[in-house]
Structure 1
Amino acid sequence: MPAPTQRFTLGGQRIPRGTTRDIRLKVSERYTGDAITLPIRVIRGRKPGPTLFVSAAVHGEELNGVGVIHQLMFDTPLPLNAGTLILIPVVNIFGFENQSRYMPDRRDLNRSFPGKPNGSLASRIAHQVFQEIITKSDYGIDLHTAAGSRTNFPNVRGDLNVTKVRRFARAFGCELMVHGRGPEGSLRREAVKAGCAVITIEAGEPLKIEPRVLEAGVRGVRNCLIHLDMMTGKPVDPPYQVRIDRSTWIRAEVGGILRFHVAPGEVVETGQAIATNVSVYGEAQNILHAPAAGIVLGMTTLPTVKPGEPVCHLAIPKGATKTLQRIFASKQHKNYQQIQKDLATNVTVSEQELDVPNLPQDDDNT
């Protein structure tokens, strides 16, 4: 990683300390030969310090991160005292324009890092971003949402076995810290290999900019800037914070229409009803139950399912009993309640379970 005293250049432009510069980084060309560029804003404090990048829309339809960066750019004062902040509101410009997760050739840009200068379109863009931004940064925050027809309760993901990453993840201030190196070729995994401590934030749905997710994202970025001494201020702490080393997907057993009994961020007990699956005539077919005590990390927002399709992503904390007791006790926290309530508006939650006639109880339905 670069020493904080060396000159900083991006896209061939030198950005002095104490200045802000908007840059268009060329990453490809159109059929006409015209340049395709990524919009980037570089903010430099007057004092030396670390370099942090914040990126969004590596998956082109994941827009919440775009909203977070816009708010950081335009609505939220960022009196940067030290270091360098790089804001990239749209990384996958092709997917962004087509409202698609993928590149035009159906490749996943977030499986293409660190890329190659003479590889596929995705690989070339990944290479350019990696060389121009990631290798020049000490830290990174990569903003994501759930995949199509799903939503995620805000959580931070990273290789928590790496001390620098773990401390940075904790500083962001999400309630849930999910351990994982990330898939091969993902931005965060390859960046950490290169010495840049990157965390991924998963929050909300694709193709939306959700107000409470924006609040959580902006709050987290500011927390990280304060943690790195790039800004002054007091961080906003979450009501609880727990490390997640294990999670499981609860999947549909039969085709039908779901009636949900839980919402994103909700704490559930072993055996608690997650959803009732009903037929097209409204007759209950089976009930999906939680296989362990945990927290609803994510869930489908699409009520229709076929057998095997994912319904609920359940995070299982370490030391579940004591941790869950603390979580129950802290649910009056305002920020927690607000975002949980807003995300729950995307699913219809019913407390009432329907009777399932003539079917044995299935204790292992995941």
Structure 2
Amino acid sequence: MSVRPAFQLGKYKIEAGTRQTVDLPVSTLSDHTPVSMSVHVIHGKKPGPTLFVSAAIHGDEVIGVEVVRRLLRTTGLNKLRGTLLAIPIVNSFGFMNHSRYLPDRRDLNRSFPGSSKGSLAARLADIFMNEIVAHSDVGIDLHSASFHRTNLPQIRLTPSKPETMALAKAFAAPLILTSKIRPNSLRQAAQEKGVDILVYEAGEGLRFDEMAARVGTAGIIRVMRHLEMLPAKSSAKARVDPIISSSSSWVRSPAGGLLRMFKSTGEEVKKGDILGMVSDPFGEIETEVIADVEGLIIGRTNLPVINEGDGLVHIAKVNRKIDTTATIDSMTTQLEQDPLFDEDEII
């Protein structure tokens, strides 16, 4: 039997059946400290797709880093077909500084496809496109809400191929939200190169969330099984289908003051429901926060001190016939009682 060719990444060659962490040079700090983007490559003995899993494009979104760590600890990866590229920290500058942005305040996820002669953000985006996206068939990009907000675990995508929606369903997060592509995002640049990306959103910036980590790790493994990169397993498929939504909107604060929330992520609300109350510090004036649409709460602020116009609650419109509470409860129960791997492997 012929030996599968080695995988070339930068100046490194990873032989079939081996794994290696590769450091791709990015820049040098002002104190002459070199900065690189580290990629863990698992190159299977047998041919198959190349999947990349990336996290911390926004440096404060640490939940994805934990998901990648758990993914790489799973012993099932020794049976991998194809190639896995795991990048736990894309924006190391922001990660080290607990910041969403790069040192020049640019948002990396608005800097794609980048340029080898542009800003620091453009150069990092260019490296990612040429070294990661160009070698991949599909990608999963891990995100969380920004600091002081939290998201229900969800997949966001703009499918250019039917197979992408099939991958989103295989991931089996509670919600799939089809949304427009933001200009100069990784998703847009990759799709123009023929590589569709699933964007996983869950939890809060600079915080770990156990359920978000479990959903993310299990979802990636399900996608890998769907792609036949890992052996099939009867318990891997979710017992219920994810909720699918094609539109969402934010309920914004009608006044500034102190917020008391009455609803949380994963709860279904009707138009006219009271979501919370905003009061002044003296308690003399209270203003109700009213849902202006019907749907599922997929994100919310965690800050009690808010200004007029701040986004408070993110609501996705869903099919009225779907029992969203039962769907989320069923998925949560399956994840807790029937993990894809033994407890010590997934944690």
Quote the residue 1:360 is aligned against: none
Distance 1:269 1:161, change over 3 A: farther
Write out per-residue CA displacement over residues 216-247 of structure 1, whole angstroms, 9 at most, x where no aligned residue. Answer: 11000100110100001332416441221111
Contact 2:24–2:38 (Cα < 8 Å) also in 1: yes
Inter-partner Cα distance in structure 2 for 1:160 and 1:74: 30
Q: Which moved more, 1:230-239 or 1:179-188?
A: 230-239
1:25 equivalenced with 2:24 (yes/no): yes
Write out per-residue CA displacement over residues 70-127 of structure 1, whole angstroms, 9 at most, x where no aligned residue. Answer: 1112356423331000110100010011110000000000111111010001000110
Give 3-state SS (helix, strand or coil) of 2:250's partner.
strand
1:285 equivalenced with 2:286 (yes/no): yes
CA RMSD of aligned residues (A): 1.9
Match of 1:333 among 324, 330, 334: 330
- Report matched runs for 1:1-366 at 5 Å: 7-74=6-73, 77-160=76-159, 162-234=161-233, 235-237=236-238, 239-283=240-284, 285-317=286-318, 320-323=319-322, 326-330=323-327, 332-333=329-330, 335=332
Distance 1:128 1:19, change over 3 A: same
Contact 1:239–1:331 (Cα < 8 Å) also in 2: no
Deviation, structure 1 residue 321: 1.6
Inter-partner Cα distance in structure 1 for 2:219 and 2:69: 15
Q: Which moved more, 1:301-310 or 1:69-78?
A: 69-78
Q: Which runs of 5+ in 1 are unaligned?
A: 340-366
Q: Which one-letter code corresponds to 2:263 in the other structure?
A: V
Write out per-residue CA displacement over residues 243-270 of structure 1, whole angstroms, 9 at most, x where no aligned residue. Answer: 2111111001111111111111111122
Inter-partner Cα distance in structure 2 for 1:32 and 1:202: 35
Contact 1:174–1:241 (Cα < 8 Å) also in 2: yes
Write out per-residue CA displacement over residues 108-152 of structure 1, whole angstroms, 9 at most, x where no aligned residue. Answer: 001111110100010001101110011100010000000121000
Contact 1:175–1:238 (Cα < 8 Å) also in 2: no
Inter-partner Cα distance in structure 1 for 2:148 and 2:59: 15
Quote the residue 2:341 is aligned against: none
Contact 2:160–2:191 (Cα < 8 Å) also in 1: no
Give 3-state SS (helix, strand or coil) of 1:219's partner.
helix
Q: Which one-letter code corresponds to 1:335 in the other structure?
A: T
Q: Which one-letter code corresponds to 1:168 in the other structure?
A: L
Identity %: 37
Q: Which one-letter code corresponds to 1:270 in the other structure?
A: K
Inter-partner Cα distance in structure 1 for 2:262 and 2:123: 45
Q: Which one-letter code corresponds to 1:146 in the other structure?
A: A
Inter-partner Cα distance in structure 2 for 1:173 and 1:330: 11
Give 3-state SS (helix, strand or coil) of 1:333's partner.
helix
Q: Which moved more, 1:21-30 or 1:233-242?
A: 233-242
Deviation, structure 1 residue 165: 2.0
Contact 2:142–2:200 (Cα < 8 Å) also in 1: yes
Write out per-residue CA displacement over residues 159-182 of structure 1, whole angstroms, 9 at most, x where no aligned residue. Answer: 035323212212111121111242
Inter-partner Cα distance in structure 2 for 1:269 and 1:338: 28
Aligned residues: 331
Q: Which one-letter code corresponds to 1:279 in the other structure?
A: D
Q: Which moved more, 1:261-270 or 1:63-72?
A: 261-270
Inter-partner Cα distance in structure 1 for 2:139 and 2:17: 21
Q: Which moved more, 1:276-285 or 1:51-60?
A: 276-285
Contact 2:169–2:241 (Cα < 8 Å) also in 1: no
Inter-partner Cα distance in structure 1 for 2:283 and 2:189: 48
Contact 2:242–2:327 (Cα < 8 Å) also in 1: no
Q: Which one-letter code corresponds to 2:250 in the other structure?
A: W
Quote the residue 2:345 is aligned against: none
Give 3-state SS (helix, strand or coil) of 2:260's partner.
strand
TM-score using structure 1 length: 0.86
Contact 2:214–2:335 (Cα < 8 Å) also in 1: no
Quote the residue 1:354 is aligned against: none
Distance 1:161 1:11, change over 3 A: closer
Q: Which moved more, 1:148-157 or 1:227-236?
A: 227-236
